[in-house]
Structure 1
Amino acid sequence: MFKVAVGHSNDPDSDFAIAEVLEQCQITLAGDVPTAGILFAAIDFEHSLILQEINRTFPQIELIGCTTDAEMSSVLEFEQDSVTLMLFCSDEVEIRAGIGRGLSKDAVTATKQAVEQAQAKSNLKSYQLCLTTPESLTADGVLIVDGLKQALGDNFPILGGLAGDQMRFSQTYQFFNTEILSDSVPILLFSGKLLFSHGVANGWHPIGRKAVVTKADKGILYEIDHKPALDFYDDYIGGLTPSPEYPLAILDPQANEFYTRAPHDCDRKIKSVYYLAQVPEQTVVQIAQASREDILAAAKTSITKALESYPGTEPQAVLFFSCAARRQLLGTRIKEEYQLTKTSLSQALPCSGFYTHGEISPLKIGTSSRLHHDTFVTLLLGVS
């Protein structure tokens, strides 16, 4: 048995919102007790109240989550300023939570701490999937993903999204059971008879010549092909300030596909470009562009890829991780993104997701997980 329940409320009052969410979930559960859950909540809610109420209702639950840029679910579809909760109930799939603290001090130690804590509670000791909703502002997302890969294995499937705060870039929060944290990495570790697949798409297309990153430090790109990085951009966007509308496409040689890294500013004196996460030196890059139609179509492509690779007959739940930059660029058309994914499903499934400051997934099954920007990630879950 693998039962998944979703609740979603856009009531601005935290008490009423979580009461509505839990009531929706309990109707679906019909008396079954969930073992784990994942909570996505807008930044201005009383998160402590929400977490305490979930714990009061389900005292043994293994819960993680984070604050968001916006939320989506099969209950209300796209929403902002809302709360959505996905609960898992199964006697075939074991799900354990872990937390790592102090990411900004040592991302490797923090991610190892999260993994070891989850593993210590596991009875099966054979793991299949890691879900994570880590900090996005105090630590580089690439270091977080790399730390999790060191702890779990380079090609172990790690999926999720970095916490958001409605594009304020001021303070995000991560959730672990009843705790509200920052600078942390919560995870859910799945084992047992779980079946899953994922799909990744963004809609951006590389343009122009390929080049090599020759000087970069953390989130600052200084040189491409030994020339100022901003000159490389100016050749294509004519003096505009680099923004998520024109991300850098980075070739992943393992998957032979590219992932994207979003710039957010530049320094015209030294001609450097600032990114939301590091761009590795010696990687092959191109400028990328997309129309709004391309961006929307990618949501459908993402879920189609996941459905085509799903190893079972029918998935039983869906998680979505979409970039906050996509919401910003699509504007009033953002609601179409979830609607496109819904039309790809042959039956109504419990779905939940959020708009992130960075998405985490492999480009292809069996390859190493990456940090993405401007991307839509679909994760299908079920049992045989």
Structure 2
Amino acid sequence: MFRVVVGHSDDPDSENAIAEVLQECSRSLAETIPQAGILFTAIEFDHVLILQRIQNAFPGIELIGGTTNGEISSILEFQQDSLTLMLFASDEVEIHSGIGRGISKNPALAAQEAIAQAKAKTASSPQLCLTFPDSLTSNGVLILEGLKQSLGDVPIIGGMAADDYTFTKTYQFFQGEVLSDSIPVLLFSGQLLFSHGVASGWTPISQRRRVTKVDGNVVYEIDGQRALDFYQYYLGEERFASNYAIHALAVFEDRDRFYLRAPNGYDQQSGSVKFFLDIPEQAVVQITDTTRDNILSASETSLKNALANYPGVQPTAALLISCAARRRILGTMTREEYQLVKTHLPEALPCCGFYAFGEIAPLVMGGQTQFHNKTFVTLLVGTK
């Protein structure tokens, strides 16, 4: 047995919202007791109260989650300022949580501590890791390195906790605790079947070039040319200055596949361009562009890829993670992301997700996990 249920409420009152969600989940669970869960909420809720209510309803539940820039579910589809809860109950799949604290001091170590804590609860080898770290206090690439060191080839799926696009503070959830500067993880082992899909909708428009001078997330030179001049050569000074954030850099993992890095500022004097996440030195890169139609089409592609890769007959649930930058560009069309996805899923399939400040997934099944910007990630799970 592997049962997954979802609750979702857009009531602005924290007490009413979590009461509605728990009632919805309990009705779907019937007499089944959930062992784990994922909670996504808007930043303005009373998170302490919400976690207390969940713990009271399901004592000892292995719960993680975080704050968001928008919430998604099969109940209310896309919403702003809401909360959604996904619960897992199974006698075939083990699910255990862990927490790493103080990621700003040592992100790799905090990630390793989170994995060690979750692993200590079981003798089974993990098959899948979910994580929703703080996006504002640390280096996501270093967090991912720590996770990989502890997990080896285990796929990692997740997204960075977000706020309402003020980039002020995010919160992470671990059982009954509301935290910042932390990394919660959920490890799945046992008879789990899963697949994922990744797509962005951004298309390369420049020649391929190699990063020749970089310091973390600040690129100084591409093929010996100032990074700013490289961008302006293809976009023009005016177009770059007014719209540079849209033109993410494609960073190639191999000849055909790339992940995205979103620009986050530039310096005229040094000619450098700053990005939200690190870019490796000697990486092959291209400038990209997109349209709203391409962004929406990519969410559908992500889901189709996950369905095509699913190793069983039919998944039990879907986890959807989209980027806050996608939502910002789509504007009033944002709700169409989920509406496109749901047309390819069974009507009763539980779905849950959120808009993140960075997405985590391998580009392909069996590949190395990467950090992404501006990307839509679909995860399908089940046992059949």
TM-score (normalised: structure 2): 0.98
Shift of 1:216: 1.1
What is residue 145 of structure 1 aligned with on the other side?
144
For residues 243 and 355 of structure 1, the distance between their equivalents in structure 2, rounded to whole angstroms, comes to: 21
What is residue 195 of structure 1 aligned with on the other side?
193
SS of 1:5 mapped into structure 2: strand
1:185 maps onto 2:186 in alignment: no
What is residue 136 of structure 1 aligned with on the other side?
135
Query: What letter matches 1:135 in structure 2?
Result: D
**In the TM superposition, what are the counterparts of 1:10-49 in structure 2 within 5 Å?**
10-49=10-49
Answer yes or no: is the 8 Å Cα contact 1:135–1:182 preserved in 2: yes
What is residue 59 of structure 2 aligned with on the other side?
59
Moved more, 295-304 or 205-214: 205-214
For residues 59 and 123 of structure 1, the distance between their equivalents in structure 2, rounded to whole angstroms, comes to: 23
What is residue 161 of structure 2 aligned with on the other side?
163
What is residue 249 of structure 2 aligned with on the other side?
248
For residues 214 and 167 of structure 2, the distance between their equivalents in structure 1, rounded to whole angstroms, comes to: 23
For residues 383 and 40 of structure 1, the distance between their equivalents in structure 2, rounded to whole angstroms, comes to: 24
What is residue 362 of structure 1 aligned with on the other side?
362
For residues 98 and 340 of structure 1, the distance between their equivalents in structure 2, rounded to whole angstroms, comes to: 34
Shift of 1:345: 1.2
Query: What letter matches 1:39 in structure 2?
Result: L
Shift of 1:143: 1.1
Choose the corresponding residue for 2:202, options 201, 204, 223. 204
For residues 85 and 123 of structure 2, the distance between their equivalents in structure 1, rounded to whole angstroms, comes to: 26
For residues 244 and 175 of structure 1, the distance between their equivalents in structure 2, rounded to whole angstroms, comes to: 30
Alignment CA distance shift 1:193-1:244 (3 Å): farther
Shift of 1:347: 3.8
SS of 2:379 mapped into structure 1: strand
Shift of 1:220: 1.1
Deviations 1:162-181 (A, max 9, x none): 00001111100100001111
Shift of 1:224: 0.8
For residues 311 and 244 of structure 2, the distance between their equivalents in structure 1, rounded to whole angstroms, comes to: 38
What is residue 217 of structure 2 aligned with on the other side?
219
TM-score (normalised: structure 1): 0.98
Answer yes or no: is the 8 Å Cα contact 2:98–2:117 preserved in 1: yes
Moved more, 114-123 or 189-198: 114-123
What is residue 267 of structure 1 aligned with on the other side?
267
Shift of 1:123: 3.6
What is residue 352 of structure 2 aligned with on the other side?
352
SS of 2:183 mapped into structure 1: strand
Deviations 1:304-352 (A, max 9, x none): 0000000000000000010000000001100100000000114430000
Q: Structure 2: which 5+ residue stretches go unaligned?
A: none
Give the number of equivalent residue pairs. Answer: 381
Answer yes or no: is the 8 Å Cα contact 1:244–1:325 preserved in 2: no
For residues 181 and 228 of structure 1, the distance between their equivalents in structure 2, rounded to whole angstroms, comes to: 40
Answer yes or no: is the 8 Å Cα contact 2:108–2:144 preserved in 1: no
Deviations 1:179-230 (A, max 9, x none): 1111111000000000000000001111120011111112211111111111
Answer yes or no: is the 8 Å Cα contact 2:140–2:277 preserved in 1: yes
Alignment CA distance shift 1:24-1:243 (3 Å): farther
SS of 1:75 mapped into structure 2: coil
Answer yes or no: is the 8 Å Cα contact 1:244–1:374 preserved in 2: no
For residues 335 and 212 of structure 2, the distance between their equivalents in structure 1, rounded to whole angstroms, comes to: 40
Moved more, 241-250 or 68-77: 241-250
Shift of 1:244: 3.5
Answer yes or no: is the 8 Å Cα contact 2:320–2:354 preserved in 1: yes
Answer yes or no: is the 8 Å Cα contact 1:243–1:262 preserved in 2: no
Query: What letter matches 1:75 in structure 2?
Result: I
Shift of 1:292: 0.7
SS of 2:205 mapped into structure 1: strand
For residues 348 and 102 of structure 2, the distance between their equivalents in structure 1, rounded to whole angstroms, comes to: 40
Deviations 1:46-105 (A, max 9, x none): 000000100000002000000001000000000010000000000000000000011111
Deviations 1:346-378 (A, max 9, x none): 443000000000000000111100000000000
Deviations 1:83-141 (A, max 9, x none): 000000000000000000111111111011000000001142x1100000001011111
SS of 2:127 mapped into structure 1: strand
- Calculate percent identity across the aligned residue pairs: 57
Deviations 1:226-256 (A, max 9, x none): 1111111111221223643110000002x84
Deviations 1:249-308 (A, max 9, x none): 00002x840110101211112111111111111100000111110000000000000000
1:319 maps onto 2:315 in alignment: no
Moved more, 338-347 or 195-204: 338-347
Answer yes or no: is the 8 Å Cα contact 1:209–1:286 preserved in 2: yes
1:83 maps onto 2:104 in alignment: no
SS of 1:118 mapped into structure 2: helix
